[in-house]
Amino acid sequence: MTTSTHPSTTERSTARSLLPLVAIIFTGFLSIGIPLSALPLHVNGVLGYSALIVGWVVGIQSFSTILTRKFSGSYSDRFGPKRAVCIGLPLASCAGFIYLASTWIADPLWSLIVLIAGRLLMGPAESLFLTGAMTWGIGRVGVPRTSKVMAWQGIAMFAALGVGGLLGVLIQQRYGFSGIAWSTIALPLIGLAIASMLGALAVVRGHTEGLPFRAVMSLIWRFGMAAALSSMPFAILSSFLVLLYKTHNWDGAGNAIFGFSVGFIGVRLLFAHLPDRLGGRKVGAVSVAIEFCGQLLLWLAHDPTMALAGAVLTGIGFSLVFPSMGLQAMANVPAHSRGLAVASFMAFVDVAAGLTGPIVGVVIGLYGYPSAFMAGALACVAALLVMWRSGAQH
User: Residue 3 falls within a domain, yes or no?
Assistant: no
Of residues 345 and 90, the one with the higher pLDDT is 90
Q: What is the mean pLDDT of residues 173-192?
A: 94
Q: In the predicted model, is pLDDT for residue 382 greater than 50?
A: yes
Using one digit for the tens of pLDDT, what is the confidence trace for 193-204? 999 988 777 665
Q: What is the mean pLDDT of residues 254-262?
A: 85
User: Residue 164 falls within a domain, yes or no?
Assistant: yes
Q: Worst-scoring range by mean pLDDT, 154-168, 297-311, 323-337, 350-364?
A: 323-337
Q: Report the alpha-carbon distance of residue 338 to residue 389 in Å, rounded.
A: 25
Q: In the predicted model, is pLDDT for residue 384 greater than 80?
A: yes
User: Residue 240 falls within a domain, yes or no?
Assistant: yes
pLDDT band for 290, please (50, 70, 90 cuts): very high
pLDDT band for 4, please (50, 70, 90 cuts): very low
* Of 377, 375, 380, residue with least CA distance to 356: 375
Of residues 282 and 276, the one with the higher pLDDT is 282
Domain hosting residue 53, numbered range = 11-197+212-392
pLDDT band for 390, please (50, 70, 90 cuts): low
Q: Report the alpha-carbon distance of residue 260 to residue 307 in Å, rounded.
A: 11
End-to-end CA distance of the chain: 29
Which residues are bridge partners to 2 per DSSP? 203
Q: Report the alpha-carbon distance of residue 68 to residue 65 in Å, rounded.
A: 5
* Of 303, 314, 319, residue with least CA distance to 236: 314
Question: What percent of the chain shows pLDDT beyond 90?
Answer: 34
Q: Report the alpha-carbon distance of residue 220 to residue 328 in Å, rounded.
A: 8
Of residues 341 and 33, the one with the higher pLDDT is 33
Model pLDDT, residue 324: 85
**Torsional sign, CA 371, 252, 355, 338:** negative
Contact 62, 351 (CB under 8 A): yes
User: Residue 166 falls within a domain, yes or no?
Assistant: yes
Give per-residue burial for 305-320: e unless 16+ CB within 10 Å, then b.
Answer: eebbbbbbbbbbbbbb
Q: In the predicted model, is pLDDT for residue 299 greater than 90?
A: yes
User: Residue 271 falls within a domain, yes or no?
Assistant: yes
Q: CATH number of the domain that 41 lies in?
A: 1.20.1250.20
User: Residue 74 falls within a domain, yes or no?
Assistant: yes
Model pLDDT, residue 16: 78
User: Residue 203 falls within a domain, yes or no?
Assistant: no
Q: In the predicted model, is pLDDT for residue 6 greater than 50?
A: no
Q: In the predicted model, is pLDDT for residue 160 greater than 90?
A: no
Contact 231, 60 (CB under 8 A): no
Highest averaged pLDDT of the listed ranges 3-7, 90-94, 217-221: 90-94
Of residues 116 and 158, the one with the higher pLDDT is 116
Q: In the predicted model, is pLDDT for residue 83 greater than 60?
A: yes
Model pLDDT, residue 143: 65
* Of 344, 382, 384, residue with least CA distance to 221: 344
Report how far Cα 45 is from the mean position of its chain's Cα atoms.
25
Of residues 235 and 147, the one with the higher pLDDT is 235
Using one digit for the tens of pLDDT, what is the confidence trace for 94-153? 999 999 999 999 999 999 999 999 999 999 999 999 988 888 887 777 766 666 777 788
User: Residue 6 falls within a domain, yes or no?
Assistant: no
Model pLDDT, residue 330: 76
Of residues 206 and 177, the one with the higher pLDDT is 177
**Torsional sign, CA 156, 157, 158, 162:** positive
3-state percent breakdown (helix, strand, coil) of the chain, nearest 5: 85, 0, 15
Q: Report the alpha-carbon distance of residue 8 to residue 5 in Å, rounded.
A: 9
Residue type, 261: S
- Long-range contacts of the stretch 11-16 (C-beta < 8 A, 24+): 14/141, 14/145, 14/148
- Look at the chain and report how many structural domains it folds into: 1
- The 3-class SS string of 142-206 reads CHHHHHHHHHHHHHHHHHHHHHHHHHHHHHHHHHHHHHHHHHHHHHHHHHHHHHHCCCCCCECCC
Q: How high is the mean pLDDT of the chain?
A: 84
